[in-house]
Structure 1
């Protein structure tokens, strides 16, 4: 069970001030985060510690994170919004 205070904190940390990131991260934390297992939650929190420019490149698929955990969470977020 995810505490509401944790969701509130993550919501505000997910608002990056860059529209391209906000439209991916805010809905993910609101709609998906609570259903993630502990490892994926930790990956999401790790993602939030990254630089916006790095995340922008990853989400625009111009590059990939070197870290395997970050690659996994970036892929999860992208898979939610991309048609298969």
Structure 2
């Protein structure tokens, strides 16, 4: 486990706080993706996520609500990964017992 003061822990904390946008719809997509998928991503996809959360909320909202897709292929890929993660998590939570 990483020490609380390690560079990795500091980066993770920064990513978490930058993923919390204050817009409920974005928080529901970005935070679970960070917590459940980020560590398993390839370095290129982790870099794409880090770049994505630096975008403006209105752009993130359009992309993650599937109203538009980013033109840049790398950004489009990470957006689609986040959407697919949310859809798969949603389908699991609504399965009958």
User: Which TM-score applies when normalising by structure 2?
Assistant: 0.79
Cα displacement string for residues 32-75 of structure 1 (whole angstroms, at most 9, x for unaligned residues): 11111110000001101111101101111111101111100000
Residue number among 17, 37, 41 corresponding to 1:32 in the alignment: 37
Structure 2 residue runs without a partner (length 5+): 92-97
Aligned counterpart, 1:17: 22
| Largest Rg, 1 or 2 | 2
**Higher RCO structure, 1 or 2 (CA under 8 Å, sep 6+):** 1
Q: CA deviation at 1:9?
A: 1.0
Structure 1 residue runs without a partner (length 5+): none
Secondary structure of the 1:3 match is: helix
Q: CA deviation at 1:4?
A: 2.1
